Structure 1
Amino acid sequence: MLAKLPDRPKDAGWLDDDERALVERRLAEDRAGNAAHRQSHTLRHVFTDWRVWAAGLADFSRGVYANALNYWLPTIVQEIGIPKNDYFLVGLVSMIPWGIGAIAMVLVAWSSDRTGERRWHAIGSSLVAALGCVLLAVAGHSAVVSVLALAMVAAGGLAWLAVFWTLPTAFLSGIAAAAGIGWINAISQLGGFVGPDMLGRLRGANEGDNSLAFLILAGVALVVTGLTYALSRQPRPTSPSGAR
């Protein structure tokens, strides 16, 4: 299948002439680059640019708290009063946070694209996730408060993710973008291993009490917030889709 895919826009049969011309022009502009940011267009610079590592750490940190709660979500739901043997109800309640999160992701992304504002959409989303983790720590066994807190974490994490990718693509282009985005993803995926394991170990060390673990996850979410702020303050090429 890969052998049959076209190598150039001009060979793409699903594009009309105007679309081919547009894509070719955009590629030419990308290759030309911006003189002020030319160093970001080299492969070597990807692995020495602190912004790439900061972006990877930010998404890694989001992966820690999001995957920790996602993995342990059915157990958390059972511990807030849902009958442990009613698996259908446990699954139904577990769907609520991520359903709300999906809606928040779309709405925040739409708002960010409509206004062209990136920084505070991302930072605000991350703060919502951090507040959700704090609320989980103090909610005890209150089902309503716990589900609300879980929804805040899911909504904040997913909404942040929707806006986050406008940040690295604002300072990476060409070959650097391909390598940089791949490297950021590689770093971030480790959060899926660290988060669930960390929450499990903290639960075990505290005899099943989640309070300390949730407060630590809130701190992790604040790390995401700080890194997002630092990344969004960096100079970047001016464009309609650039972060502000």
Structure 2
Amino acid sequence: MSSETTATFSRDLSDDDSRLFARISWKFIPFIMLCYLFAYIDRVNVSFAKMSMAKDLQFSDSVYGFGASIFFIGYFFLEVPSNLILDRVGARLWLSRIMISWGAISCATLFVQGETSFYILRFLLGVAEAGFFPGIIYFLTIWYPSKLRGRIMAALICAIPISGLIGGPVSGWLLDALHQVGGLTGWQWLFLVEGFPSILLGIACLFVLRDTPEQAEWLSPADRMRLRQIKAEEFPEVPGHSFRHALTSPSLWKLTFVYFSLGAGFLGIAFWMPTLLKEAGAGSNTSIGLLSAIPHLFSIVVIMAAGWSSDRFRERRLHLVVPILVGALGIVLAVKSGGDLHRVLVGLTLGVAGISTAVATFWTLPGLVLGPQALAGGLALINSALALGGFAAPFAIGWLRDHVVDGGSVALHSLAGILVLGAAMVLTFRSGAVNR
């Protein structure tokens, strides 16, 4: 990006531009947050189902850990192809397909009878969801300039703690209140009730989303022209800057490693938090659900504050490094709690808030580092690293808990170490490359 272009984007938005992007945000952001909220609920609600499902189906921690993790195998292999298809057919149609298919598979998880069916449905859920999150990121880069993405990404990532704030208590209540209602167990009702809204939202995608400003009938010709101008200023044409070219870029692979560390840390916590709270003496499923909402409630405040600060000061590196280190510290504190519920909860709160905030800031970087022609494939490749982290962490925790003395502690300390390495990798980026 030229110095002249950088200067253009260092200025504040005009009043007209501010009003334009406010209109765009009201059209898209609440709906996208709702979609992402249910995507996350359908991905991790198995962590709550496990509390009674494992007993009913005689699942060991290793079986649960592998089932939770195998989701990310299908997700990993289909991530890049899915996003390249999205680039061709458009976000509106492809995100609709993704949501309808994953909602149906999530509902079908109520039919699990044993290990094999559990593994198959978790794998298919990952196949169905592949491409959703990078597709959303790609969609947002079409509609928003880089200097607004800190706040936009903060709003989007807030869907994760909001999903925990809502999904945890609801999941715990479903397990207790609907057990044996209509001949179904509580965990069967959980998958049915929490999966069906994704099907409805997938249908709604066709009516709410627009692939480009040119397709938005609610924008005036002047608004469309202004958005084209902003995109041209931020993404001047650079010959030869393709996805294949991006694969040779060290920056792409560094971003991929950082996101692997965030995925391992966050999903390691997400898939085991209800179990850790239960083992610390949290009590009933409903109580565990309510307690699990506390880290997510705290995260919402921190994510929004960090997103505002990151955009206000045009600073990305430290806004990414500091939350990662806080997340690692939180995991260590949870391990060192000695089984005390309050200390476990404090550690988990720091861990969830730190890593969630880091994820929000992280997604401001790819649009600055990658060229426009490499963006769709590059975003998918980076997000596929989350799949590797999401597979490795929950599975390793489950296996170590079953086969190694104090294996849970070893696994969580390892997650903290991986996060520290991710923070170190962020510091290898030059400030001028990412602080915009």
Instruction: Give your verdict on TM over 0.5.
Output: yes
Match of 1:212 among 410, 420, 434: 410
Letter in 1 for 2:400: L
How big is the alpha-carbon RMSD for the aligned residues of Structure 1 and Structure 2? Answer: 2.4
Structure 1 residues 205 and 22: CA distance shift in structure 2, 3 A: same
Q: Give the alignment of 1:215-234 within 5 angstroms.
A: 215-231=413-429, 233=430
Match of 2:308?
A: 110
Inter-partner Cα distance in structure 2 for 1:124 and 1:43: 31
What residue is the counterpart of 2:375 in the other structure? 177
Offset of 1:177 from its aligned partner?
1.6
* Structure whose residues are more often helix by fraction: 2
* Matches for 1:153-172 after TM superposition, within 5 Å: 153-172=351-370
Distance 1:91 1:21, change over 3 A: same
Aligned match of 2:230 in 26, 51, 73? 26
Greater RCO structure (CA 8 Å; 6+ sep): 1
Q: Deviations over 1:33-85 (max 9, x none)?
A: 46xxx66x3222211112111111211111112111111111100111222xx
Taking the TM superposition and a 5 Å limit, the aligned residue runs for 1:1-244 are 2=93, 9-30=213-234, 32-33=236-237, 41-83=241-283, 86-207=284-405, 210-231=408-429, 233=430, 235-236=432-433, 242-243=434-435
Q: Deviations over 1:217-240 (max 9, x none)?
A: 110111221122123x2653xxxx
Paired residues of 1:46 and 1:179 also in contact (CA < 8 A): no
1:132 and 1:152 in contact (8 A); partners too: yes
Contact kept, 8 Å, 1:30 with 1:173, in 2: the verdict is no
Per-residue CA deviation, residues 124-160 of structure 1 (Å, 9 max, x unaligned), is 0001011111112211111111101000110111100
Cα 1:78/1:23, change in 2 over 3 Å: same
Give the residue type in structure 1 aligned to 2:383. Answer: N
Q: Distance in 2 between matches of 1:162 and 1:101?
A: 11
Question: 1:16 offset after TM fit, Å?
Answer: 1.4
Unaligned runs of 5+ residues in structure 1 are 237-241
Q: Which residue of 2 aligns with 1:239?
A: none
The 1:208–1:93 alpha-carbon spacing in structure 2 relative to 1, beyond 3 Å, is farther
Q: TM-score, normalised on structure 2?
A: 0.49
CA deviation after TM superposition for structure 1 residue 113, in Å: 1.3
Q: Distance in 2 between matches of 1:8 and 1:60?
A: 30
Q: Is the 8 A contact 2:324 2:420 kept in 1?
A: yes
Structure 1 residue 194, shift from structure 2 partner: 1.4
Shift in alpha-carbon separation, 1:116–1:208, aligned structure 2, 3 A:
same
Partner Cα separation in structure 1 for residue 215 and residue 273 of structure 2: 48
Q: Classify 1:29/1:122 alpha carbon distance in 2 versus 1 (closer, same or farther; 3 Å).
A: same
Deviations 1:65-116 (A, max 9, x none): 2111111111100111222xx1110111112112222222112111111221
Counterpart CA distance in 1 for 2:291 and 2:245 is 46
User: Which letter maps to 2:295?
Assistant: P
Paired residue type of 1:27: K
Gaps of 5+ in 2: 1-91, 94-205
Structure 1 residues 106 and 8, CA gap change in structure 2 (3 angstroms): closer
Structure 1 pair 183/22, CA: closer, same or farther in 2 (3 Å)?
Answer: same
Deviation at 1:26, TM superposition (A): 2.7
The CA distance in 1 between the partners of 2:278 and 2:302, in whole Å, is 25
| Residues 71 and 30 (structure 1), Cα distance of their counterparts in 2 relative to 1, 3 Å cut | same
In the aligned structure 2, how far is the partner of 1:28 from the partner of 1:69? 41
Residues in 1 aligned to 2:210 and 2:245: alpha-carbon distance in whole angstroms: 29
Identity %: 32
C-alpha separation in 1, matches of 2:340 and 2:253: 39
What is the CA distance between 1:172 and its match in structure 2?
Answer: 1.2
